[in-house]
Structure 1
Amino acid sequence: MSIKSIFWDFDGVILDSMHIRDVGFIRILSAFPHNAIDELIRYHRENGGLSRYHKIRYFFEQILGEPISEEEVNRYADAFSNIMREMLVDPANLIQDANLFIAKHYKDYEFHIVSGSDQNELRFLCSKLNLSQYFKSINGSPTVKNKLVAELLGEVPYSIDEICLIGDSQNDFDAASLNGISFWGYNNPSLKEKGYNYIESFSELKHI
């Protein structure tokens, strides 16, 4: 059965944002030791699909060994989002290979975004970057990705074998696998090495 709906990850697939999100974490945590921030940046890069809420909590509880309240997590996350809204609206950060495919085929498939990025920020960026028109829905954190996928599966009018998720992280694969939909890796060769379906370039893609 052919694919009719594609769930898209955002960071690293549609927008090249990892380096800018590095800057965001460095700025909001500038009062803390550099070695601790460096450890968080490594964790951030290795876990691209996880939300900032998770990563902020990880920084305090696992790296610093300190408790942090939900209110404090949200305060840091809001500061992070303000930085992202300023820095990520540059169209130069769009990944052209994927965006050309999206603009060409958004009427051929039903597209949705499922991202670890903050949902309000995500919708703001998609509006500013003129992407909203291509997607039936734009979904983000603080809801975790596997739950976002599960909730969306209850809304789209297709069976699970007609839906796939395109992402650049192990977390994306896990969200797809847990929900029984197919997964295609992109922009992360380690996913290809693991034997997952892999898109080298959307310009060379024959079918999904």
Structure 2
Amino acid sequence: MQSLQIKRPSWEELSQYACVFFDFDGVIVESGDIKTEAFMELYAEFGIQEAVKKHHLENQGVSRFDKFEWIAKYLLNEVYTAEKGAELSARFSALVKEKVIASPSVPGIAELILALRRNSAFLVVASGTPEAELKEIMNKRGIDVHFDEIHGSPKSKASIVQSVMKAGAYPSGKCLFIGDASTDYDAARQEGLDFYARLTPELADYWSSTDYRFGTEDFNQIVY
């Protein structure tokens, strides 16, 4: 496993961004493990938990429906239907929603969000969580009011970035994406945005092969 390369930003650097995109799980709230465990529990009866866990961790930020379809096709050899996906999603939500609402924030993220808000940055959540569920969770946590827009699946993160940048006429050099998964990095790279990686040991090998602008294990130590 590669060691994590810390690239800590200064507030002077962060204050230059006019538009900032945030992933949700693992960036705003410490909910990554909750969802990993839920995926494994969904498929416990089939004895494929480790394969499910591996696929989930390698595709963090991808819509749960895409994962359900992949698991049905490649691990269960079953025909996947929209009805089956809806059933699995309802069961998944029942396993995770209240736990995510109650989960702690990532250290330092609240202070960063408030500082960016005071600096008049346009703040956007771009998540792989179904949008209605995401908005409900953020509302119950009382944090939805800090963001200008909140987007989830079925929209892709790249399409969210594209639409927000176009609507606000934000140049790519004035936009930052803060994420913890390959889907976040790919969306940022596709549109030419700077990327701030929330670094975790699970993805150390992946991050060692990417060129992120900033990277820290949490969001403490930023001096405002």
Question: Structure 2 length normalisation: TM-score?
Answer: 0.83
Query: Which one is further off, 168-177 or 77-86?
Result: 77-86
Shift of 1:21: 0.7
Contact preservation (8 Å) 1:126, 1:132: yes
Structure-2 separation of matches of 1:62 and 1:192 = 27
AA aligned opposite 1:97: G
AA aligned opposite 2:139: S
Counterparts of 1:89-100 in structure 2, within 5 Å, are: 89-90=101-102, 92-100=103-111
Structure-1 separation of matches of 2:26 and 2:87 = 25
Contact preservation (8 Å) 1:12, 1:187: no
1:181 equivalent in alignment to 2:193? yes
Q: 2:126 aligns with which of 95, 114, 122?
A: 114
RMSD, aligned CA: 2.1
Shift of 1:192: 4.6
Contact preservation (8 Å) 2:40, 2:52: no
2:91 aligns to what? 79
Aligned residues: 204
Question: Structure 1 length normalisation: TM-score?
Answer: 0.88
Contact preservation (8 Å) 1:169, 1:188: no
1:104 equivalent in alignment to 2:115? yes
Contact preservation (8 Å) 2:106, 2:219: no
Shift of 1:78: 2.1
1:12 equivalent in alignment to 2:63? no
1:37 equivalent in alignment to 2:49? yes
1:159 aligns to what? 171
The structure 1 segments of at least 4 consecutive aligned residues displaced by more than 4 Å after TM superposition are none
Counterparts of 1:61-80 in structure 2, within 5 Å, are: 61-80=73-92
- Structure 2: give runs of 5+ residues left out of the alignment: 1-12
- Structure 1: give runs of 5+ residues left out of the alignment: none
Query: Which one is further off, 147-156 or 3-12?
Result: 147-156
Q: Secondary structure at the match of 1:88?
A: helix
Post-superposition Cα deviations, 1:74-123, rounded to whole Å, max 9, x if no partner, equal 22112212322222111x42112212211333221211000111111111
Structure-2 separation of matches of 1:61 and 1:165 = 32
1:127 equivalent in alignment to 2:144? no
Structure-1 separation of matches of 2:184 and 2:197 = 8
